[in-house]
Amino acid sequence: MRKSQVFLLSIFSGLLSLSAQNTSYWQQHVDYTMDVEMDVKTFQYGGTQKLIYTNNSPDVLNRVYYHLFFNAFQPGSQMDARLQSIKDPDGRMMENGKSRIASLSETDMGYLHVQSLTQDGKPVTFVEEGTILVVDLATPLPSGGKTTLEMEFKGQVPAQIRRSGRNSSEGVALSMSQWYPKLSEYDFEGWHANPYIAREFHGVWGDFDVKLTLDKDYVVGGTGYLQNPQEVGHGYETPGTKVKTKGKTLTWHFKAPNVHDFMWGADPEYIHDTLQMEDGPALHFYYKNDPEILDNWKKLQSKTADAMRFFNKNIGEYPYKQYSVVQGGDGGMEYAMSTLITGKRSFESLVGVMVHELAHSWFQHVLATNESKHEWMDEGFTTFISSLCMNEIMEQGKDNPFEGSYKGYYALVNSGLEKPQATHADRYATNFAYGIAAYSKGAIFLSQLGYIIGQDKLMETVRKYYEDFKFKHPVPNDVKRSAEKISGMELDWYLVDWTQTTNTIDYGIKSVVAEGNKTKVALERIGDMPMPIDLLLAKSDGTQETYYIPLQIMRGEKENPYPSLNRTVAKDWMWAHSVYELIIEVPLDEIQALVIDPSQLMADINGENNVYQPKE
């Protein structure tokens, strides 16, 4: 009896100290040095990697994990299995209704294997589990400690199936993303040794020093600053100088400071153009010498500069001196200081994909959210800001640049396939539900936040969020806190209902009746999700005014979004009451219309009950 009481006490004291630990932010750090040789005929490559790992966590680490992404492109892999079982597989990965991974031959499949691995010179035990390498350290790594992990590795570039690979559909030889053994991230939530099944990434911040040796005819572009431009030429050399190369291969030496990934593309037919912005970084473009695309890729260059200026102004200064747009891959994918995009597109589509991927430089490659867990924070915020950017730089003249996102979200709700945005990216039952939750519902998180706190406050929030969390791993609560600090409102209800549930918004005008010289309007909350209400009143004399009904749990009010119209701030709506009564100081017969949310930025799933017009 006595003994167990003592035991119980000791558990309690342990729990108390644990819960007190996680109060301050920390993040791990890696420094990669890689020396790699690529055989452009067999698409096999290999080399060495030296990684200095700094443990800034409060914990002792006995294990580390690496991602070996190319092992996904093998028959029987988890990526293959998922492709064969999901209801709506990605068409790019299918042929005649079958998984393309399932039929990859030995020479066409991908692999990435670690051949030897030491920790501070001592051999360690490691075991490959599909796309993850599990490493038991020789010596535990203490909190605050540093250790050096050195390996030899070899790989084979798979036929282009998804994102990276060889011989893309547009004939680009090498789209090299997810190509090296990449250390998994350990953060305040623990390890993220997430197998490569379909979705996106999470990485450790650090510095990269990469040497790539390959056939001298190939032009290379991607992440990092080239250290030896006068040795490799190919458009990197000082204009007017002659570059003499010896031998059959060239070694390209790149350095990339403070990034969490490293991508490169290479092709013997790349044209390489550079546009040095006066007020920004050097923009590099790599694209095939194909008459069909030349014109669009030339015109793309000034649009990239326009987009860079737009994002610098609206989010915050791009922190690197270089950005590269590289033709390759299978659509568009963001990487550190660069992107891989397909190039045979209409001009509008080419600009659209560039703008989207460039925006990811902020919402992923500087604000490095875990894309497996919070996919809406990178894809959604990118969709939000790129919709605004396209409207401006392509002069689209849209009143609501987010209209497409709202339509997508309503279609998802009606489909019955919606899952909460807090779902792990690999765990959606359909690609459709993932896509809309991440891109469309994620974009609406911000556009609708603008409805709640006001448009100016929204854009201030975006800039503060960037300023506060750049070069970190922000989580959903972080963007909510930025918005709360800027608006002075309490917004936890918004974050929780919108991102962790599938609760929907539906407000309606229930009844409008005369009450003497005034009018009594009953508004109704039909959906479970709370929102504040803007109500527009159009009068028969042609004038308009608005009523604003703050939500009580916001503990605040936004500024008048329509400064040219007179606004009445009504009493707060307490959520649990499904009906709210408003007295309007206008006789019923002078009311031409009443409209809930004339901006249509509130994602009300039934717009029909939002409008009252007297019957003729």
Contact residues toward Zn ion (CB under 5 A) are: 379
**Residue 450 C-beta: closest distance to Zn ion, Å:** 21
Residue 544 near residue 567, CB atoms below 8 Å: no
The smaller minimum CB distance to Zn ion, of residues 157 and 425, is found at: 425
Best CA proximity match to 71, nearest among 128, 148, 23, 131: 131
Give 187 or 379: the residue with its C-beta nearer to Zn ion: 379
d(CA 274, CA 13): 61
Residue number, 285 or 439, with CB nearest to Zn ion = 439
Q: What is the DSSP string of 101-133?
A: TTT--TTTS-EEEEEEEEETTEE-EEEEETTEE
Q: 317 is written with which tokens?
A: 């200064």
**Could you give the C-alpha distances from 16 to 5, 23, 61, in angstroms and in order?**
17, 13, 21
Q: Which of 519, 495, 530 lies closest to 604, judged by CA?
A: 530
Tokens read off for 232: 């490799």
Nearest CB to Zn ion, comparing residues 185 and 378: 378
Of residues 92 and 146, the one with the C-beta less far from Zn ion: 92
Nearer to Zn ion, 345 or 539 (CB): 345
Q: In this complex, which beta carbon is closest to Zn ion, that of residue 186 or of residue 439?
A: 439
In the complex, least distance from residue 467 CB atom to Zn ion, rounded to whole angstroms: 22
CB 600 within 8 A of CB 400: yes
* C-beta closer to Zn ion: residue 185 or 375: 375
- Looking at the Cβ atoms of 304 and 504, the one nearer to Zn ion is 304
**CA–CA distances in Å: residue 117 to residues 51, 52, 231, 337:** 11, 13, 32, 29
* H helices, E strands: number in the chain: 13, 33
The residue at minimum Cβ distance from Zn ion is 379
Least distance from Zn ion to the Cβ atom of residue 408, Å: 14
Backbone angles phi, psi at 540, to 5 degrees: -70, -20
Helices 291-314 and 455-469: crossing angle in degrees, nearest 10, is 100
Residues near 180 by beta carbon (within 8 Å), at least 6 away in sequence: 32, 34, 36, 49, 112, 153, 262
Contact 158, 109 (CB under 8 A): yes
Answer yes or no: are the C-beta atoms of 339 and 357 closer than 8 Å. Answer: yes
Minimum CB–partner distance for residue 352 and Zn ion (Å): 11
CB of 360 to Zn ion, least distance (A): 5
